[in-house]
Structure 1
């Protein structure tokens, strides 16, 4: 079986080539989120994201006017359409599904926030007063 061809590192502007199933070079390996499969972490319903969550999610998006309420967008005065709902204090850090701990967020902002939290172990996550 032939070896996989080398591919460029996914870090923007990096010209390094990576082999195998890797997506980042050794320099940027910390940027990889490394999600666990559902067989390990449980499916969405097992993690609490069933019908009740969908109703709560719709309520939060309506409450926040469908606009991203992340810290960066608010700080920059940027207006982006929110398509997702974020736990201000992550559930892994004791956050709950209480509406005060939820805020509307843009998909790209949500991915970036989640990656930052995973890299730092969610230490210093936003307080419920921020979004």
Structure 2
């Protein structure tokens, strides 16, 4: 899915485009992780909804595609562990 300026977002952000516009503006066009100068590519939940996070602006960050993919892979791994019941998940570490 895409939304203006070619940025990509998951379907959850189509609930409130004002949130997306604000996040794009705040990110200044670049990944928000310290030291990364790659272009902004995705709005990401710092703490995922599945782990108790909200859609509030203070729980959103703009990430480059590389950092978003890495963070999403780690969140998926934690989700599989939660569903399998094999191991109690650690507390969420926060920012990617």
TM range (shorter): 0.5 to 0.7
What runs of 5+ residues in structure 1 fail to find an aligned partner? 1-43
Q: Structure 1 residues 117, 82: CA separation in 2 closer, same or farther (over 3 Å shift)?
A: same
Which stretches of structure 1, 4 residues or longer, exceed 2 Å deviation after superposition? 48-51, 120-127
Q: 2:46 — aligned with what? A: 88
**TM-score of the aligned structures, taking structure 2 as reference length:** 0.67
The Cα shift of 1:120 comes to 2.7
Correspondence 1:1-131 to 2 at 5 A:
44=11, 48-52=12-16, 54-70=17-33, 74=34, 77-121=35-79, 123-127=90-94, 130=95
More helix by share: 2
**TM-score of the aligned structures, taking structure 1 as reference length:** 0.51
Root mean square deviation, CA, Å: 2.0
What runs of 5+ residues in structure 2 fail to find an aligned partner? 1-10, 80-88
Q: Which has the higher contact order (CA 8 A, sep 6+)?
A: 2
Q: Which has the larger radius of gyration?
A: 1
Separation in 2 of the partners of 1:126 and 1:58?
26
Count of aligned pairs: 77
Checking the alignment, whether the CA contact within 8 Å between 2:46 and 2:59 is kept in structure 1 is: yes
Separation in 1 of the partners of 2:68 and 2:91?
16
